[in-house]
Amino acid sequence: MAALTVTSIRTDAALDPAALVFSERRASERWFCWSEPDRGFELAGWGTVAEVVSRGPGRFADVQSACAEIGRKLEVEAGDGPVWVGGFAFDDEGGRDPQWSSLPPALMWLPRVTVIRRGEETSVTVVGSGPGPDLDAVRNLPMLDPPAVGRAHVESVRSPGEYEEAVIAAVTRINSRAASKLVLAREVRVHAPAAHDAAALFGALREAFPSCFVFCVGTPEAAFVGASPELLIRRSGQTAATVALAGSARRSADPAVDAHLADRLLASAKDRAEHSFVVNRIKRELDRHSVWVDAGAEPEVIRVANIQHLATPVRAQLADARSAVELAGLLHPTPAVGAEPRAAAAEIAGLEQLDRGWYAGAVGWMDSAEDGEFCVALRSALLRDRTAHLYAGAGIVADSEPAAELAETEVKLDALLPLLTG
């Protein structure tokens, strides 16, 4: 690849990066939106100057190596450097089913135009010699309206009873010591009378879940949209940060009941055990590459719109230079979405009987300094024309009750179902 020029400008802080993407992108282009409303951070990009695709056990290393090689050929004239965006499927060979055809097991690309807003500062970066965006043409994201004609049809790909049977089978394997924990997911499809609107769904999620990582990975054929509460990794220089997130309870509109549910979650031996698997794995993986690792002594409860979780922040000072992509590869998949021990994840596919694709994978971005963020792709839906594929899972341990685990997936599905069914 010939050398490419990278140019950045500062612009109006009121600019909405996501709205700019949806007004400027062409139907044939990839696009990416990322929002952390509570942190005042927005990132969006469209077009493709370079892309890296891989699969198999070495996919994170492949992507890191190729991004670094391409980065050496970029000439930054002024301002911010380029940003890589994309993500990774849950499984090394994930995304075999047709709906995932445009999202391979590993995909990071360099957008032609990237817009980043940090608090009151906004920058627009253009890679190559093409025209920049029309900043005067930007509009607000559309409202998420119910379909004008007809009603959406909701379909559970496997029946609730089949999911409960899978939970029973998982508990049996855990009790036989094949694993300590297995996360089982299920799929629900929403068939609408008209094509699902990725821009409107992204905007609605950004409003409803301001404490989450709200993302949209778009291709000409599909859009993968979600609002994840779970940070996989944030890398800033020699500092790495993440949050162990496992153990869940529903919310209540009554503050007293909501507080009671949180107290019960903190006191739950089942949820505390499930949570400790995640904390211990993250600490072990980071400890091998760090000067020090610090994790909270006790989990805390974090609340999002419809659910609350046990959470333990983890920070580390890296002993050597490792990029955001490399660190994501070290941690993925955590026991919050996979299995403990990690090798037991091979048990999951046969029990779930679904292709997770990018659900529970890693979605995020990395800049030219190799800093960046990846979240675990939860509370998400894959939109393809009039069909939305939704996924939700629950952590299964020795004392899991099938009905309770099914109910947990229903709570998690409720993050997106009301928005997609009107």
User: Could you report the per-residue pLDDT of 398-414, keeping only the tens digit for each?
Assistant: 999 999 999 999 999 99
Residues of the domain holding 288: 157-192+230-355+394-421
In a domain, 137, yes or no: no
Taking 50 as the pLDDT cut, the residues of the chain under it are none
In a domain, 404, yes or no: yes
In a domain, 80, yes or no: no
CA pair distance 140, 364, nearest whole angstrom: 23
In a domain, 223, yes or no: no
Q: Which residues are the active-site residues?
A: 181, 230
In this prediction the pTM is 0.94
CA pair distance 411, 204, nearest whole angstrom: 18
In a domain, 289, yes or no: yes
H/E element, 134 = none
CATH code, 271: 3.60.120.10
* pLDDT computed for residue 5 by the predictor: 80
* pLDDT computed for residue 23 by the predictor: 87
- Split into its structural domains, the chain has a count of 1
In a domain, 75, yes or no: no
Is there a contact between 322 and 75 (Cβ–Cβ < 8 Å)? no
In a domain, 131, yes or no: no
* pLDDT computed for residue 13 by the predictor: 65
CA pair distance 230, 322, nearest whole angstrom: 21
In a domain, 240, yes or no: yes
